[in-house]
Amino acid sequence: MWAPESLLRAGSDGAIAGGEPEFGYRVAAATRIYAGTSEIMRSIIAQLALGLPRSRS
């Protein structure tokens, strides 16, 4: 459970742990995007470079 203060940016009044929880929250969202991108690239390489069939997932 997150307290409202945990989502304050570094330097804000009342920020917990120097704003690190807020930074982690933002990074977590980007990490999901990066994971999907690498899966797509793996699929494209498998199809075009290796001649494998299209994945079903």
Give the mean model confidence (pLDDT) for residues 29-56.
82
Task: Give the model's confidence band at 57: pLDDT under 50 very low, under 70 low, under 90 confident, else very high.
Answer: low
Task: Give the model's confidence band at 8: pLDDT under 50 very low, under 70 low, under 90 confident, else very high.
Answer: confident
CA-to-CA distance for 6 and 21, rounded, in angstroms? 6
What's the DSSP call for residue 51?
A: -
Is residue 22 assigned to a domain? yes
For 37, the domain range is 14-57
CA-to-CA distance for 49 and 57, rounded, in angstroms? 19
Residue with tokens 């930074």: 23
Backbone angles phi, psi at 49, to 5 degrees: -85, -35
Distances, alpha carbon 18 to alpha carbons 1, 7, 47, in Å:
18, 11, 46
Q: Domain count for the chain, please give it.
A: 1
Is residue 32 assigned to a domain? yes
Give the mean model confidence (pLDDT) for residues 31-55.
83
Is residue 45 assigned to a domain? yes
Is residue 56 assigned to a domain? yes
